[in-house]
Amino acid sequence: MLIKDMIAEISVVLNQASQAKRDIERKIYCGWDEEDNLQKKVYILQNTLSDANNDLDAIKDSLYKILEELEDKEYQAELEELSPFRGV
C-alpha cells in the first residue's frame, strides 16, 4: 500500500467515525417518543451502545492495520523522504 493509499484509508476511517457519531446521536435523540416506557428507552440505549462498540472496533482495527503498515521498514524511507524535517 502506498502512502497516498494509507492517507485515503485514514480518510475513510474518519468518515466511518463521523457516521458512527451521527448514528449514535440520531438513535439517542430521535430513537424514542416521550410516551415510551423506561424499558423501551433502556433497550434502545443498549442497542445503540452495542452498535457504537462494533463501529469503534472496526475503526480501531482499521487504524491498527494502517499503523502496522507505517511501521514497516519499507515505508520508513518513504516517510523520511516526505518529512519536512529531513536533513535538519
In a domain, 26, yes or no: yes
pLDDT, tens digit, for every residue of 44-57? 889 999 999 999 99
Residues 23-34 have pLDDT tens digits of 998 888 887 777
Total structural domains within the chain: 1
Say if 32 falls within a structural domain: yes
Q: Per-residue pLDDT for 41 more than 90?
A: no
What is the spatial distance between Cα 82 and Cα 76, in angstroms, rounded to a whole number?
Answer: 10
Please report whether residue 88 resides in a domain: no
> What range does the domain containing 20 cover?
3-82
Angle ∠(52,61,75) on CA atoms, nearest 5: 145
pTM over 0.85: no
Tell whether 87 is covered by a domain: no
Q: Is residue 65 part of a domain?
A: yes
- Predicted pLDDT of residue 7: 83
Burial of 50 (0-12, 13-18, 19+ CB in 10 A): exposed
Q: How far out from the chain centre does Cα 19 lie?
A: 9
Does residue 66 sit within a domain? Answer: yes
Residue 74 C-alpha cell reads as 519499507
